[in-house]
Structure 1
Amino acid sequence: MKNFRFIYLVFLCLPNLSVAQKADFVVLRKIYLYGNHHTKDRIVLREMDVKEGDTLLLAKLDTLLNNNRNRIFNTRLFNEVKLTLLPDSAEYKSLLVELTERWYIFPIPVFELADRSFNEWWYNQSHKLNRLNFGVRFSNKNFRGRKEELRLIVQSGFTKKLGLGYTVPYLNKKQTLGLDLDFMYDQNKQISFKTKDNKQQFLKTNDLLRERLRLGVNFFYRRSFFATHTFGFRYNRARVADTIGRLNADYFRFGENTQNFFQFGYEFTFDKRDVRAYAHKGYFVNFVYEQRGFTPWDDVKMAVVEASFSKYLPLGHHFYFASLSKGKAFIPNKIPYFNIRAMGYDQDYVRGYDLYVIDAQMFALQRLTFRKKLFEMEFMVRSFLSMRQFNKVPFAAYLNAYYDIGYGYTPQVFSGNQYLSNEWLRGGGLGIDVVTYYDSVIRLEYSINKMLERRIYLAFTTDI
């Protein structure tokens, strides 16, 4: 039915293609969506700031169409998005939105690293295969065609895990309120119990060393296109073997072996990037506040405050610049080892110090990256896969040069952090980024730090 409608509207507009534009504006008569076989129309229209009957200025038309294209693409529901204005008459136009949907259902095997990064596993842990997780992960990223997400993971290996999740981005008719439910339970027979020389120290036994339980609910409020407010509430429970408390009395506190607490949090994001997976233009603002423990029965009382700003600039001739400024603080001063994730985790590190962690009370981080697009192409794989969601594979490569600077502050420098705490860290280098479909990014980097340590590192997320 949609194929017939697409052919009909194209032929309907052909007689008017030669009509000259006399006015400096056009009126949008109709919006046609084509290719969203599974996704509901309202999910696509939610991301557009034009509607039928709007008057559009010709001088701003290209920018308007490109911005709407990027917002639809950033839903991560489509591999391709194309907007074309069809002339109905000299002053009235129709808008054709052509979409190629992604594949949404992924019952795939889990085969992933248990360590904080590939480089931690490869260098510090000697790429041992017993530090791998394996199992099955199921996700439906567009359940019922409403951008809802179902998640299930059953995992064994280094970390035994069972997880369930369900996200509903739009609860109300105005599509401004959303909900996320999350459950996670995991067990370990090997865990990091302290830091020594700014590196994680692990203990391995044949018995269970740690188990964790997490139950959470988040509410989203997204009134505009760019700003999102998230309010969360979570219950956390963790228990470790008595051995951990004896080896590190600060793992929880006072050598205890259990920790239970409720937490609430607030997160604000303002996202004006052109493409979220690998931005060339725009900026991103993020602010997070978490209160961990607020009832008389909670075993921990602490707060986490985090703020970051990322900026992306096209410099012309396929050159780009990106910067990240970030700060994070744990309050009060004395925080259990289990509850600190400071420098060295996720993307919170100075490049060149990929193999180190700093259990800082607070830290500041600045990243600067210059990129040069080497090439961008698409190739077909129809001979291997007959599914349209995988027929076209986008592929782009970027050469980049980067420089990072960071500072991790610790009021009392313990033996585990004595080398890198309370001093400025600097690192930089050269790298190549590969960007392909389904938001996949592969980074190969050659970095050097101020201790003149040089290594090649591999990562699977964008740097900024």
Structure 2
Amino acid sequence: MRMLLINLCLLLCCNVLAISAEEPDVPLVNPRMVGEIMVSGNYRTHRSVIVAELLFHEGDLIEMVDLPDLIERSRENIQNTSLFNIVKIDWSFPDINTVNIFIVVEERWYIWAFPLFEAEGRNFADFLRTNDGDNFNYGLYLKHDNFRGRHELLKLRFITGYRTQAILDYQNPALNHKSGWGAKMVWYMFDKMAYQTSDDKQLFIKQSGDQLLREMSFHLSYSYRHHHDFYHNIMLSYFDVVAADTLLALNPGYLPGGNTTSRTLEFSYTYEFDRRDSKVYPLNGLYAQLVFARRGMVVDSISDWTGFFQAELLLSWQKQLLNRWYGKSDLKISLIDKPDVPYFYQTGLGYHEYLNGFEYRVIDGATYGALKNKLIFELLPRRDVVWKRMPLKQFSRIHYALYLKFNFDAGYVINTNEFDNNYMANSVLFGYGPGLDLVTIYDQVWGFNYSFNNFGDQGFFLHFNLVL
């Protein structure tokens, strides 16, 4: 009997040991070392561009409880490069001490060359308000995304119409723990210009056949990125501007010192923190941007204008509140150290930052703040459709998503030199209303809003983020 009990105990122990030995791939060992990182689908993109977006590298030790979050954030980083339609990351355990990573990407179309026909305006609603049949540009657009497979950008743009423009732009972005740089040359010529603000709307003058304003500018930038989410950028710019006497007669303060020519330097430093799930249409995460700039530094003796300092702060927060419900808030504050600047440098709401319901308006001022809030409901989650008959693989997969939203924006502009016919500065501004956003391929977001403001304006407004 005693021998029988001993044999049963030995048999049970052997079975337990056998079961343990037969399951070496169960991820119980912590931490594990990253073994191979294998990348496929990158026919043009260098492997280093993709690997630089990962939060881990070969040889790193990773706690298995952290692996899913690291994988998801790495996938978001790669997707946010705007180089790929699809990014997938998977992993396997070849042994009890190692984890291998598999990355599959589907590249986008990178070379664009086509005739250009576009509307001119601060936004599409303002274009519809001011268009007299001449607010169009047409020309040629050449763009090479992911130039040389290194995430570089090369762009050529030639247009005429409302404005004549030529742009040559090269950008070499900073990868993680590396620096980047860029150079840009721009030439503008206008025969229709906004010269003043009245009733919080821009007034325009047109002079057919003669240029009202000619502007040449050169820009050099240096950037550095560290720890994936932190960016530094330094830019030095030179501007050479010539205004016609007709423009100066309508607004003597258009350029510094009331002169017809202006040659100035601009220096800016930008710091960014970006930890959002998407740069195109974020639903979770944080973003912060801080800008310090010295603008309008005259480099000739024509004017005694010394320029001005400008500081800007942008904070953006977005978070899932409930299933399919999200909240988003953006805070923007801008201030300069002078109560008034030449109209060429005019700041305020409506130029680069607008409130919903104020699309027709520009509210001039030296200092302004804006708080834009959005409650979002995911009406139609992302859907992918494959068009099998499309010969170009880069366009064969189409995705789209629809979001219902309600906007509620507030702002305030400080203007100590308020023009007699402008009444929105130095007053609280409110804009609100429902809308619908369509998010689709190649980072396109189309917004359809019906908005109101506290000054009685209302209307249907279309917004889209196409930047060429």
Match of 2:89 in 1: 83
Contact preservation (8 Å) 1:399, 1:433: yes
Match of 1:325 in 2: 331
Q: Distance in 1 between matches of 2:424 and 2:193?
A: 23
Contact preservation (8 Å) 2:211, 2:244: yes
Aligned counterpart in structure 1 of residue 407 of structure 2, from 402, 416, 419: 402
Q: Distance in 1 between matches of 2:189 and 2:299?
A: 27
Q: Distance in 1 between matches of 2:453 and 2:340?
A: 29
- One-letter code aligned to 1:230: N
**Alignment pair present for 1:65 and 2:71:** yes
Match of 1:421 in 2: 425
Deviation at 1:254, TM superposition (A): 4.6
Q: Distance in 2 between matches of 1:90 and 1:330?
A: 60
Q: Distance in 2 between matches of 1:18 and 1:396?
A: 42
Contact preservation (8 Å) 1:106, 1:137: yes
Contact preservation (8 Å) 1:121, 1:128: no
Contact preservation (8 Å) 2:177, 2:227: no
- Describe the shift of the 1:393–1:363 C-alpha distance in structure 2 as closer, same or farther (beyond 3 A): same
Match of 2:133 in 1: 129
Q: Distance in 2 between matches of 1:66 and 1:43?
A: 17
Match of 1:252 in 2: 255
Deviation at 1:18, TM superposition (A): 8.6
What are the equivalent positions in structure 2 for 1:284-295 lying under 5 Å apart?
284-294=287-297
**Alignment pair present for 1:366 and 2:371:** yes
- Describe the shift of the 1:142–1:113 C-alpha distance in structure 2 as closer, same or farther (beyond 3 A): same
Q: Distance in 2 between matches of 1:151 and 1:341?
A: 28
Match of 1:55 in 2: 61
Q: Distance in 1 between matches of 2:187 and 2:284?
A: 39
Q: Distance in 2 between matches of 1:97 and 1:255?
A: 59
Q: Per-residue displacement from partner, 1:99-138 (whole Å, max 9, x unpaired)?
A: 111111111222212111100011x21x443211111111
Q: Distance in 2 between matches of 1:153 and 1:373?
A: 37
Deviation at 1:359, TM superposition (A): 1.3
What are the equivalent positions in structure 2 for 1:289-308 lying under 5 Å apart?
289-294=292-297, 297=300, 299=303, 300=305, 301-308=307-314
Deviation at 1:34, TM superposition (A): 0.5
Q: Distance in 1 between matches of 2:219 and 2:463?
A: 29
Match of 2:284 in 1: 281
Instruction: Give the RMSD, CA atoms, in angstroms.
Output: 1.8
Structure 2 unaligned spans of 5+: 1-21
- Describe the shift of the 1:93–1:240 C-alpha distance in structure 2 as closer, same or farther (beyond 3 A): same
Contact preservation (8 Å) 1:281, 1:314: yes
Q: TM-score, normalised by structure 1?
A: 0.91
Q: Per-residue displacement from partner, 1:227-270 (whole Å, max 9, x unpaired)?
A: 11111111101111101111111111453211110111111111
Question: Which secondary structure state, in structure 2, belongs to the residue aligned with residue 88 of structure 1?
Answer: strand
What are the equivalent positions in structure 2 for 1:23-422 lying under 5 Å apart?
23-122=29-128, 124-125=129-130, 127-170=131-174, 176-206=178-208, 207-294=210-297, 297=300, 299=303, 300=305, 301-346=307-352, 348-375=353-380, 376-383=382-389, 385-417=390-422, 419-422=423-426
Q: Distance in 1 between matches of 2:399 and 2:388?
A: 14
Q: Per-residue displacement from partner, 1:126-154 (whole Å, max 9, x unpaired)?
A: x4432111111111111111111111001
Q: Distance in 2 between matches of 1:427 and 1:170?
A: 38
Deviation at 1:21, TM superposition (A): 3.2
Question: Which secondary structure state, in structure 2, belongs to the residue aligned with residue 222 of structure 1?
Answer: strand
Q: Per-residue displacement from partner, 1:155-199 (whole Å, max 9, x unpaired)?
A: 11111111101112259xx85111110000011111111111111
337-346 or 156-165, which deviates more: 337-346
Contact preservation (8 Å) 1:194, 1:416: no
Question: Which secondary structure state, in structure 2, belongs to the residue aligned with residue 338 of structure 1?
Answer: helix
Match of 1:13 in 2: none
In the comparison of the two structures, how many residue pairs are matched?
440
- Describe the shift of the 1:295–1:247 C-alpha distance in structure 2 as closer, same or farther (beyond 3 A): closer
- One-letter code aligned to 1:28: V
Q: Distance in 2 between matches of 1:147 and 1:362?
A: 37
- One-letter code aligned to 2:288: V
Q: TM-score, normalised by structure 2?
A: 0.90
Question: Which secondary structure state, in structure 1, belongs to the residue aligned with residue 348 of structure 2?
Answer: coil
Higher CA-based Rg = 2
Structure 1 unaligned spans of 5+: 1-15
Q: Distance in 2 between matches of 1:17 and 1:216?
A: 60
* Identical amino acids, percent of aligned pairs: 27
